[in-house]
C-alpha cells in the first residue's frame, strides 16, 4: 500500500484536535475547485461540509479558484461554479465575486505572490532548478515501465553546482523548480480517518513546484494560499489524502505550522459503483435541470455522507441550512464510501415541495412555476391553469410525485386539458344528465363520498359500476388509464368535473 491508516492506542478527543483554533479564533475553511467544467456532486459535498463546519463554529468559508493548470480551464466555468453554489444555498464569506482581505481569490491572478515565495525556498535550499527536458523525463518513464519499476524522477538536477546552474540560466535553458523531498516518514492525524503515516519519497521523485511557464503546481500554490489566507482546517476529498504528507513537508520548508486535515470519503452509488456522468448522477446542473430542489439535494448528500445523528426507523426530516449546521459533527463522518440512495432524493424532494406549499410566498412561486410548465408543455391546448386549480393539484400531488415536471407528462394531461369528445359517440348522454344533479348535491367532494354516490347511482339506475367508470374516465380525461375516476374527480374539483360532463353533453 502507498500509505497506511493507523489507529492511535489512546484516541485524541476531537475538541483537543481543534482546540488550537476554536479557542483562539474562529476557524477559516476553504472550498478550492478547479474551473474544469462543472460542479459535481462530490465537489458540492465538500463545499457543503466546509460551510456547515464554518457555520457551526461561527467561522468563515473562502472560495478560491485553483486554475494554475491553464490547459484544463473551461471558459465560463468559474461563473457556473459560483451560480451552482448560490443555487444550493452555500454562501461563501470571501471569494472572487465577494472580495475579502486575502485576495485575489483566483490563483492565476496571484502569480507574483508565488514567485516571491518560491524564491524563499530556493534561498533556503529546500528547492532547486531542474533543467531536464521532456524527452529525458519520457525516457525515465519508459525505462520504469520496461523494468516494472515505479515511474518517478531520479532527482538528477538536485546535485548541480551553483556554477552549473548559472551556466544553464545564462544560456537561457528552460527550467522548472522542484522541491527536495526528505525520506522521513511523515505522520498526521486525519480528522476523519485517524492516524496516517507515509513516506512520499518511496513512490515519488522530487515534485515540481513551479513550472517552466511561471505557473505554480497545485501542491505549491495550495500550501502558499492556505497559509496566507489563514486556513485553519482543510476538509477535502480523500483523493488528496496521499498528497497531504507532501504538503506538510512544504509547510516545514517554510517554517509554517500546517492546518488540521480531514479527508471526505468517496461518494458512490447504492451498489458501490462509481458515479457516472452518463447516468446524470454527477453534475449538480443535471439535478437542477431535472427539478430537484436545492435544499432537497443538500439533505440528500447529508443522509449519505455522515456527520449527523440519524435515528434508525425515525424517517426523514428535511432540515434547513441552519438546522444542518447546528447538528453537524465532524467526528460523525464515516471513513467508508458514502453510498447514495436515489429513493432518499425523491423523498427529500417531496418534503421540500410540501414545505414550500405551506409558505405563502413560496407557494405562490410554486404555483407560478407549474402554470408556466403547463403552458410550455401544451402550447396549443385550451387549459385550466387557474391558481385555485393548480394549488389543489399540488396539494394532491405531493404524496404521489417528487418533481413538478411529473405533472406535465402524458399521464397527468387530463388535469389541464379538456378532452376531445369526437370519439365518444357511444356514451350514454341521458345517463350522464341524470348524474349531474347527484354530483351537484354533494357537499363533501372527496373521493370516498364521490365513489359511494356513484355506486348508489349505478344501483338506482341499473347500470354496472365499471361501465359508468369507463364512461366518466373518457368524458373527464379522454385517457384509457390514469388515477381512479373518483380520485380524478376530486382532483379536478366539483366545478371542473361538472363543466367537462356538461361540455360533452352539449
Residues 475, 434 share a domain? yes
236 and 373 together in one domain: no
Return the pLDDT at 385.
92
30 and 62 inside one domain: yes
Q: Which of 273, 153, 244, 247 is nearest to 204 (CA)?
A: 153
For the chain, the domain total comes to 3
As to burial, measured by CB atoms within 10 angstroms (0-12 exposed, 13-18 middle, 19+ buried), residue 386 is middle
Is residue 22 included in any domain, yes or no?
A: yes
Provide the grid cell at 443: 357537499
- Tell whether 107 and 226 lie within a shared domain: yes
Instruction: Judge whether 246 counts as a catalytic residue.
Output: no
Question: How far is it, in rounded angstroms, from Cα 83 to Cα 35?
Answer: 13
Radius of gyration of the CA atoms of the chain, in A: 32
- Give the residue numbers spanning the domain of 105: 4-127+179-206+217-268
Type and span of the H or E element at 500: helix 485-505
**Shared-domain flag, residues 188 and 80:** yes
Rounded to two decimals, what is the model's pTM? 0.86
> Do 438 and 374 have their domain in common?
no
- Same-domain check for residues 406 and 436: no
Distance, in Å, from the CA atom of 111 to the CA atom of 148, rounded to the nearest integer, reads 38
pLDDT of residue 22: 43
Residue 444 lies in a domain: yes
3-state secondary structure of 430: helix
> Which of 388, 415, 442 is a domain's end point?
415
- Which bin fits 255, alpha (ψ -120 to 50), beta or left (φ > 0)? left
C-alpha cell of residue 426:
357511444
- Give the per-residue pLDDT at 330: 93
- pLDDT given for residue 65 in this prediction: 97
Cβ-proximal residues to 187 (8 Å cutoff; 6+ apart), any chain: 195, 196, 197
What is the pLDDT, as a whole number, of residue 195? Answer: 96
Which residues, given as ranges, of the chain have pLDDT below 50? 1-24
CATH of the domain at 16: 3.40.50.620
Examine residue 80 and state whether it is found in any structural domain, yes or no. Answer: yes
pLDDT (0 to 100) of residue 246 = 96
Kindly name the residue from 25, 58, 274, 277 that is annotated as catalytic.
277
Q: What is the DSSP letter of 25?
A: S
Same domain, 67 and 94: yes
pLDDT at 4 (0 to 100): 38
CA distance linking residue 325 with residue 424, whole number of Å: 59
Amino acid at each position: 500500500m502507498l500509505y497506511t491508516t493507523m489507529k492511535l492506542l489512546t484516541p485524541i478527543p476531537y475538541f483537543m484536535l481543534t482546540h488550537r483554533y476554536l479557542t483562539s479564533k474562529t476557524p477559516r475553511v476553504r472550498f478550492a475547485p478547479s474551473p474544469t467544467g462543472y460542479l459535481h456532486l462530490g465537489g458540492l459535498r465538500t463545499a457543503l461540509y466546509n460551510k456547515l463546519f464554518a457555520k457551526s463554529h461561527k467561522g468563515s468559508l473562502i472560495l478560491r479558484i485553483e486554475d494554475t493548470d491553464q490547459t484544463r480551464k473551461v471558459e465560463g466555468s468559474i461563473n457556473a461554479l459560483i451560480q451552482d453554489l448560490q443555487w444550493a444555498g452555500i454562501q461563501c464569506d470571501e471569494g472572487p465575486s465577494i472580495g475579502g482581505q486575502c485576495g485575489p481569490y483566483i490563483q492565476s491572478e496571484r502569480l507574483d505572490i508565488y514567485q516571491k515565495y518560491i524564491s524563499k525556498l530556493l534561498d533556503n535550499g529546500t528547492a532547486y532548478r531542474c533543467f531536464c527536458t521532456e524527452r529525458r523525463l519520457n525516457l525515465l518513464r519508459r525505462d520504469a515501465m520496461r523494468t516494472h519499476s515505479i515511474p518517478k524522477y531520479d532527482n538528477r538536477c538536485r546535485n548541480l553546482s551553483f556554477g552549473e546552474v548559472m551556466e544553464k540560466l545564462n544560456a537561457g535553458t528552460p527550467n522548472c523548480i522542484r522541491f527536495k523531498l526528505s525520506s522521513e516518514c511523515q505522520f498526521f492525524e486525519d480528522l476523519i480517518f485517524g492516524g496516517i503515516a507515509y513516506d512520499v519519497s518511496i513512490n515519488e521523485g522530487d515534485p515540481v513546484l513551479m513550472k517552466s511557464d511561471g505557473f505554480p503546481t497545485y501542491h505549491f500554490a495550495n500550501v502558499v494560499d492556505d497559509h496566507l489566507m489563514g486556513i485553519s482546517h482543510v476538509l477535502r476529498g480523500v483523493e488528496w489524502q496521499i498528497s497531504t504528507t507532501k504538503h506538510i513537508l512544504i509547510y516545514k520548508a517554510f517554517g509554517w505550522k500546517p492546518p488540521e486535515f480531514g479527508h471526505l470519503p468517496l461518494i458512490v452509488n447504492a451498489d458501490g459503483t462509481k458515479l457516472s456522468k452518463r447516468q446524470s448522477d454527477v453534475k449538480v446542473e443535471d439535478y437542477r435541470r431535472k427539478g430537484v430542489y436545492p435544499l432537497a439535494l443538500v439533505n440528500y448528500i447529508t443522509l449519505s455522507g455522515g456527520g449527523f445523528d440519524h435515528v434508525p426507523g425515525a424517517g426523514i426530516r428535511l432540515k434547513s441550512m441552519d438546522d444542518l449546521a447546528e447538528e453537524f459533527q465532524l467526528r460523525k463522518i464515516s471513513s467508508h464510501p458514502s453510498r447514495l440512495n436515489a429513493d432518499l432524493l425523491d423523498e427529500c424532494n417531496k418534503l421540500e415541495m410540501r414545505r414550500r406549499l405551506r409558505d405563502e410566498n413560496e407557494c405562490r412561486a410554486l404555483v407560478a412555476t407549474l402554470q408556466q410548465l403547463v403552458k410550455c408543455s401544451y402550447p396549443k391546448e385550451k387549459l385550466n391553469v387557474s391558481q385555485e386549480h393548480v394549488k389543489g393539484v399540488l396539494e394532491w400531488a405531493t404524496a404521489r410525485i417528487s418533481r413538478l415536471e411529473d405533472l406535465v407528462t402524458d399521464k397527468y394531461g387530463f388535469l389541464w386539458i379538456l378532452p376531445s369528445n369526437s370519439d365518444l359517440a357511444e356514451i350514454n348522454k341521458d345517463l350522464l344528465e341524470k348524474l349531474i344533479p347527484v354530483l351537484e348535491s354533494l357537499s363533501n367532494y372527496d373521493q370516498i363520498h364521490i365513489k359511494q354516490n356513484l355506486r348508489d347511482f349505478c344501483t338506482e339506475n341499473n347500470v354496472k359500476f365499471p361501465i359508468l367508470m369507463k364512461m366518466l374516465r373518457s368524458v373527464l380525461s379522454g385517457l384509457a388509464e390514469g388515477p381512479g375516476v373518483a380520485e380524478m374527480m376530486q382532483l379536478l374539483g366539483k366545478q371542473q368535473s361538472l363543466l367537462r360532463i356538461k361540455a360533452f353533453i352539449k
